[in-house]
Structure 1
């Protein structure tokens, strides 16, 4: 079903989705509604920016690559997030690659319409600033995750705690694991084997439980202690 900006379920708490009805009507009239299957690449690192992507549903991974070909996942973006904004505003090449982890729906707003929208509605400029601030915080948290805990297990524990906190804010009793062990390893700056071994240990010690893609934290204090190691 096509997502309408004027009755968006993400209207509360998200920078672009929380705009006034008039601004959302402009967005709906001047953007293109797109659906992307799992594995689709919305844009790649190094692409010239020509639009922003306002997530309506689904999840994507936002990653960067080194010259040696190593990939690091910076964050997981979801409904309400805005992608490609920094490149759209400064005209520089895209800094990240964005790939769908599951079926994704998004509003694609081309740069000329974004410029017009920002000129006509002051709240859009404020929304852009808020969205970029969220991106900055996410990048900072990823840097903290990689830099501070000394052990790979500590970084994995920190990831699980962060995901559990997000699930709690969304009133979910469990974390939906849409990432492969390889992708978790990319986020935690470790190897797939270490992720598999650590998760197995946590299940065995009943710190977490898993059923399909659902991961439940049973002993948050144990994860906190591990994340400090």
Structure 2
């Protein structure tokens, strides 16, 4: 999935730094995330990320309620060595969490039923989005092999409001694409749950392969589950970029 902080994304799209050279980033450190960074990443994401993501807002989730899901996503991402941290003067200010998969191993990968209620709801939603997105990919490309097709999932991208507008998000995604090319991955997939992250991914060349409207995602008794308070995020999108 691509949980994303809400305040910075539009500024990233129209920032004068959006297409500038790497000189802009000299004041920042870009580091590969490792297991020793797990606690720091979770603390960073709890500072404002959790409270600004539309699905979390819709459920009025607390950090404690979402911590099992967050822990799973962070730990499963850093073990693959494709996640990137950004630090400024020693402080974590941005990250992209990427996890490695093959088509045969990804289905329903989040153990959502083991989580508290609100984390279970979000985990099940993301699982459904990924399953349907991957099925669309398979249907559209009969040449893909389930056992040998490797790809990255952008699980989380988050940039602190303190460095908004500097093009950090685009650089993180460019670096992610470069890693995917170097390792001969077939594609990158993300579940974009925020209208602003959807706009960002479209801007950098991702296409929508599956969309699920919130009005169509209902409980067993027919009630809509997600009513996003920003009034702009009306769906989640499975978004793909082939490498």
TM-score between both structures, scaled by the size of structure 2: 0.30
Which one has a bigger Cα radius of gyration? 1
